[in-house]
């Protein structure tokens, strides 16, 4: 936690209060502005909004279930309790959308019922973030990712519906926002105690700041009180930016980038609107690099590496790239003219559906950004290699250096992914999809193979896996980039706590000639004889051929994998790994005999 508010913060709050509007304002327009809402209703993406909301009329509201909430505190399981809560939250947005479109009042009774239910439930905080059951038991209030995000949604609903809601209902929800959200955070800001996300440099910071500040700007009447939370965002949002490397890389993975940086955009947009651009969280050159991250990390044809806690098949968020390209002048022509589908949440939906800073800006047509055949996140040690456009080469790859102390870290120094056509035939498996009470505990890397190095396409030396921590880091030995070939060589010895290991380098290579090929070569040396094994991780179908080559096939796309151990006999093994994410196979490539040194080369070639 950083220092509590000081006299300087109080002076700044006074300054901010003078530039805020006299009344609170969320995204979009209230239902009373019928001209604005008639334009929204005419959009094709809104044509089914009312009919979808009608399905909630006459349906019983999902009940609160103590036993499901308590599953995490009792047995460490999260999904059931979270689903119970989201089943309840999910009612509000479609009903509010429908009432704002139709404006006949027929959805208001159900909306008020939902607000009463949400206001009366024991916790807005997820079970995993209330392990001491403070909010559940009513002995205190804290704000987590979920409570903050829901607060913004609820405040947005109050702003959109205005006096269509009864005074009693408005006061009930406003009092809950004050008790559950604003007062606890205010206490932390004044005392410097509690809510460590204020000082964190990850998605928690941006998600919680966006939720709390956005809710305050949407419902708090007093400009000075609103300014108190605007100062919070202005002061602590830079912590989120420090969580990105200087090259714009997000070590939490693409999924958390979509989530966390998406919420940072919510915060940036509502502050920009509330202060008429005087507070702009997109200032600084680093923001251009952060805003380009998901475009730069694409391998090819919509395939991305699943490094860190990233779900399989995660893709870049189109709206994030649209917003960044427009506001930061990135020139991403592919995203500059997007249209958006049926809205889900109230916050994101209103931000994107009504005029905003991105839609009101002009695309940077004078400087169209081209993806290029590679992108090197030099500070982070991540290399993305692609084919030459229009060539016969049909293979690309992502190569990872980095270290084992990253946000949402996996022990994965030296990991990689290979794409043929539009299929990722092998690669870092990502995951998990669901967390338990042990996911972030001291057994994170030993209990879960998919988080430790065993479940990654990296070596094992003398049966020893990679260690966690910043000292387990790659060192770049060589970068040689050309139109025909990229070579990236790293030293990964420090990742392995094995005293007899004297040398371990990994050389990645993408050959763009003909149909292309990817090779990964490990060179190692021990002070005394030891065992050595490398691995392939894949969700492709596997066929081991008679000569020990491997054919990988995924959705009709094939890659031939050839192993060269330079005269040393080897054996293959297969281990199925399924840990709170889709199953994948680890193919071990192990030298049969102990040796003092050696080399293993794994080569991937596209096949017809």
Give the residue-averaged pLDDT of 477-506.
98
Long-range contacts of residues 572-575, Cβ cutoff 8 Å, at least 24 apart: 572/544, 572/548, 574/542, 575/449
In whole angstroms, give the CA distance from residue 154 to residue 158: 6
For residue 115, pLDDT beyond 70: yes
Q: Residue 246 corresponds to which tokens in the numbers above?
A: 């200087």
Give the residue-averaged pLDDT of 434-455.
96
Q: What are phi and psi of 256, to 5 degrees?
A: -70, -25
Question: Average per-residue pLDDT in the chain?
Answer: 96
Half-sphere CA count of 144, side-chain side, radius 13 A:
13
Give the residue-averaged pLDDT of 510-532.
98
Fold of 7-353: Glycosyltransferase (1.50.10)
Q: Residue 516 corresponds to which tokens in the numbers above?
A: 């292309």
Helices and strands, counts by H and E, the chain:
21, 19
Which residue shows structure tokens 């590496």?
A: 305
Looking at residue 149, its pLDDT comes to 98
For residue 1, pLDDT beyond 70: no
Residues 6+ apart with CB under 8 A from 426: 417, 418, 457, 536, 537, 538, 540, 552, 559, 561, 604
For residue 370, pLDDT beyond 90: no
Give the DSSP H or E segment for 296: helix 293-296
Q: Residue 455 corresponds to which tokens in the numbers above?
A: 């479940």
The residue ranges of every structural domain in the chain are: 7-353, 374-607
What percentage of residues in the chain have a pLDDT greater than 70?
Answer: 100
Q: 86-90, 159-163, 339-343, 522-526: which range is least confident on average?
A: 339-343
Q: Residue 288 corresponds to which tokens in the numbers above?
A: 């251009």
Looking at residue 337, its pLDDT comes to 83
Half-sphere CA count of 360, side-chain side, radius 13 A:
8
**CATH 2.170.150.20 matches 374-607:** no
Give the DSSP H or E segment for 334: helix 333-336
Looking at residue 339, its pLDDT comes to 79
Query: pLDDT by residue (tens digit) across 197-237?
Result: 999 999 999 999 999 999 999 999 999 999 999 999 999 99
For residue 72, pLDDT beyond 80: yes
Place 334 in a pLDDT band, splitting at 50, 70 and 90.
Answer: confident
Q: Do 151 and 211 meet the contact criterion of CB atoms below 8 Å apart?
A: yes
In whole angstroms, give the CA distance from residue 110 to residue 80: 25
Count of CB atoms situated within 10 Å of the CB of 154: 28
Looking at residue 405, its pLDDT comes to 97
For residue 492, pLDDT beyond 70: yes
Looking at residue 336, its pLDDT comes to 86
The strand pair at 517-530 and 501-511 is best described as: antiparallel
Q: Residue 73 corresponds to which tokens in the numbers above?
A: 């505190």
For residue 442, pLDDT beyond 70: yes
Count of CB atoms situated within 10 Å of the CB of 279: 18
Give the residue-averaged pLDDT of 580-592.
97
Give the residue-averaged pLDDT of 371-387.
97
Question: Is residue 549 helix, strand or coil?
Answer: coil
Looking at residue 367, its pLDDT comes to 73
Give the residue-averaged pLDDT of 334-353.
89
Q: What are phi and psi of 599, to 5 degrees?
A: -150, 135
Q: Do 126 and 144 meet the contact criterion of CB atoms below 8 Å apart?
A: yes
Q: Residue 319 corresponds to which tokens in the numbers above?
A: 């709206």
Residues 6+ apart with CB under 8 A from 248: 286, 288, 289, 290, 291, 292, 293, 296, 377
Query: pLDDT by residue (tens digit) across 251-302?
Result: 999 999 999 999 999 999 999 999 999 999 999 999 999 999 999 999 999 9
Which pTM was predicted? 0.96
Q: Residue 27 corresponds to which tokens in the numbers above?
A: 């995204």
Q: Residue 89 corresponds to which tokens in the numbers above?
A: 């939250």
């Amino acid at each position: 936690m950083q220092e509590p508010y000081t006299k300087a913060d109080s002076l700044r709050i006074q300054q901010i209060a003078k530039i805020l509007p006299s009344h609170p304002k969320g995204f979009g327009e209230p239902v009373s502005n019928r001209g604005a809402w008639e334009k929204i209703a005419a959009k094709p993406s809104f044509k089914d909004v009312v009919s979808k909301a009608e399905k909630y009329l006459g349906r019983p509201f999902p009940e609160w279930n103590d036993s499901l909430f308590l599953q995490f505190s009792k047995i460490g399981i999260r999904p059931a309790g979270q689903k119970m809560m989201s089943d309840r939250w999910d009612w509000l947005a479609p009903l509010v959308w429908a009432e704002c479109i139709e404006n006949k009042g027929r959805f208001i009774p159900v909306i008020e019922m939902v607000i009463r239910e949400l206001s009366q439930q024991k916790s807005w905080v997820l079970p995993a973030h209330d392990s001491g059951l403070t909010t559940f038991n009513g002995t205190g209030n804290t704000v987590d990712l979920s409570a903050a995000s829901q607060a913004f949604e609820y405040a947005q609903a109050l702003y959109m519906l205005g006096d269509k809601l009864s005074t009693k209902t408005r006061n009930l929800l406003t009092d809950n926002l004050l008790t559950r959200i604003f007062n606890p955070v205010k206490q932390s800001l004044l005392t410097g105690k509690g809510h460590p996300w204020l000082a964190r440099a990850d998605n928690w910071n941006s998600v919680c700041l966006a939720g709390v500040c956005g809710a305050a700007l949407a419902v708090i009447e007093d400009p000075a009180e609103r300014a108190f939370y605007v100062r919070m965002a202005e002061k602590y949002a830079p912590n989120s930016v420090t969580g990105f490397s200087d090259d714009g890389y997000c070590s939490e993975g693409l999924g958390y980038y979509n989530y966390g940086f998406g919420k940072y955009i919510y915060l940036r947009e509502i502050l920009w609107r509330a202060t008429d651009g005087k507070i702009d969280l997109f200032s600084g050159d680093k923001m251009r690099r952060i805003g380009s991250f998901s475009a730069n990390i694409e391998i090819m044809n919509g395939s991305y590496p699943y490094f860190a806690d990233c779900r399989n098949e995660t893709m870049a968020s189109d709206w994030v790239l649209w917003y960044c390209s427009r506001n930061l002048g990135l020139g991403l022509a592919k995203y500059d003219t997007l249209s958006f589908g049926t809205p889900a949440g109230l916050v994101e939906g209103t931000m994107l559906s009504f005029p905003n800073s991105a839609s009101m800006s002009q695309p940077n047509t004078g400087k169209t950004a081209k993806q290029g055949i590679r992108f090197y996140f030099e500070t982070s040690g991540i290399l993305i290699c692609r084919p030459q456009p229009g060539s016969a080469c049909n293979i690309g790859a992502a190569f990872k250096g980095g270290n084992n102390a990253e946000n949402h870290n996996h022990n994965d120094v030296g990991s990689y992914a290979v794409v043929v056509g539009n299929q990722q035939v092998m690669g870092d498996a990502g995951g998990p999809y669901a967390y338990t009470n042990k996911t972030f505990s001291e057994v994170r890397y030993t209990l879960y193979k998919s988080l430790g190095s065993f479940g990654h396409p990296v070596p094992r030396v003398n049966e020893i896996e990679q260690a966690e921590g910043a000292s387990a880091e790659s060192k770049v030995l060589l970068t040689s980039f050309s139109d025909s070939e990229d070579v990236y060589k790293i030293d990964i010895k420090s990742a392995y706590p094995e005293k007899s290991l004297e040398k371990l380098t990994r050389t990645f290579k993408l050959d763009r000639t003909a149909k292309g090929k990817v090779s990964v070569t490990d060179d190692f040396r021990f002070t005394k004889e030891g065992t050595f094994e490398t691995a392939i991780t894949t969700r492709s179908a596997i066929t081991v051929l008679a000569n020990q080559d491997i054919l990988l096939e995924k959705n009709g796309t094939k890659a031939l994998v050839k192993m060269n151990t330079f005269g040393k006999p080897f054996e293959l093994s297969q281990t199925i790994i399924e840990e709170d994410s889709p199953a994948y196979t680890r193919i071990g490539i192990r030298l049969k005999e102990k040796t003092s040194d050696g080399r293993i080369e794994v080569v991937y070639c596209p096949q017809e």
